[in-house]
């Protein structure tokens, strides 16, 4: 059963609040992160907020992001990025924040960048950023939120 339009609308709003869309891909293995430059800047901000929060200094502390909550940043003894999480010590994650911020400064709208080995040799799912135009709606990149036509036998969502 498909989610209701109300659920889909909440999901759209959560993507917009996050500022970017993300998903993991298998071919090639990566975290695909899509947004405008300012939206992708929110990725830098979430890493910054994570490393500045003293509660995140302990190993295994973590935080989930986005409407589906499967992007997870984890405090770990070693730096790595895989399908499950973006990991590292608070210092490592701060270094990742800086790497992303510096690389995003140089990429143009319509361009992309991949970040992985610069962070750690243990990256199996690199971060693949796609820079879209200003005002890009990150919800539009979520294939689960495609508009579906009214089927006639459904009750409309009344607000």
Q: Could you report the per-residue pLDDT of 105-144, keeping only the tens digit for each?
A: 999 999 999 999 999 999 999 999 999 999 999 999 999 9
Is 148 part of any domain?
no
Neighbouring residues of 86: CB distance < 8 A, sequence distance ≥ 6: 31, 71, 72, 73, 74, 93, 96, 127
Domains in the chain, number: 1
pTM for the full predicted model:
0.89
User: How high is the pLDDT of residue 146?
Assistant: 66
User: With bands split at pLDDT 50, 70 and 90, how would you rate the model's confidence at 26?
Assistant: very high
Q: Could you report the per-residue pLDDT of 39-87, keeping only the tens digit for each?
A: 999 999 999 999 999 999 999 999 999 999 999 999 999 999 999 999 9
Report d(CA 49, CA 137) in Å as an integer: 23
Question: Mapping DSSP to helix (H, G, I), strand (E, B) and coil, where does residue 56 land?
Answer: helix
Report d(CA 43, CA 77) in Å as an integer: 22
User: With bands split at pLDDT 50, 70 and 90, how would you rate the model's confidence at 159?
Assistant: very low
Report d(CA 33, CA 31) in Å as an integer: 6
Q: Which residues constitute the domain of residue 123?
A: 28-142
Is 110 part of any domain?
yes
Strands of the sheet containing 86-88, edge to edge, are: 62-65, 71-75, 86-88, 80-81
User: With bands split at pLDDT 50, 70 and 90, how would you rate the model's confidence at 5?
Assistant: confident
Is 40 part of any domain?
yes
Is 106 part of any domain?
yes
Is 15 part of any domain?
no
Q: How many other CB atoms are found less than 10 A from the CB of residue 57? A: 12
């Amino acid at each position: 059963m498909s989610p209701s339009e109300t659920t889909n609308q909440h999901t759209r709003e959560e993507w917009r609040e996050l500022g970017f869309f993300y998903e993991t891909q298998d071919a090639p293995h990566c975290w695909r992160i899509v947004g405008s430059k300012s939206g992708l800047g929110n990725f830098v901000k979430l890493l910054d907020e994570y490393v500045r929060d003293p509660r995140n200094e302990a190993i295994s502390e973590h935080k989930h992001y986005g409407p589906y909550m499967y992007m997870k940043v984890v405090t770990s003894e070693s730096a790595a990025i895989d399908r499950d999480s973006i990991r590292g010590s608070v210092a490592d994650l701060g270094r990742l924040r800086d790497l992303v911020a510096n690389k995003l400064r140089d990429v143009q709208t319509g361009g992309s960048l991949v970040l992985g080995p610069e962070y750690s040799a243990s990256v199996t799912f690199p971060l693949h950023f796609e820079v879209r135009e200003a005002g890009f709606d990150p919800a539009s990149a979520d294939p689960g939120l495609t508009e579906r036509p009214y089927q006639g036998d459904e009750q409309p969502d009344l607000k």
